[in-house]
Amino acid sequence: MQSIETSSLHIDLISDLKRINSHICSIAYPILDSAGALAPNRLRPATLTGKP
């Protein structure tokens, strides 16, 4: 029963943490981009054999 009572609190906490993460990313990406610290993409470069 106690788990059911606290589940909405946990869902709210997760939602708030996602919002905090979003705010941090919206600040960090422009800073990292201006410093040239971001990779052009997140894909691994292909090897000469065509296999990753």
Domain boundaries, the chain: 1-34
pLDDT attached to residue 51? 57
pLDDT attached to residue 17? 98
pLDDT attached to residue 4? 79
CA dist 22 to 14, 18, 36, 43, 52, Å? 12, 6, 21, 22, 31
Prediction pTM value: 0.64
CB of 38 closer than 8 Å to CB of 46: no
Q: Spell out, as residue ranges, where the chain has pLDDT lower than 70.
A: 45-52
What SS3 class is residue 23?
Answer: helix
pLDDT attached to residue 2? 74
CB of 52 closer than 8 Å to CB of 46: yes
The whole-angstrom separation of Cα 28 and Cα 35 is: 11
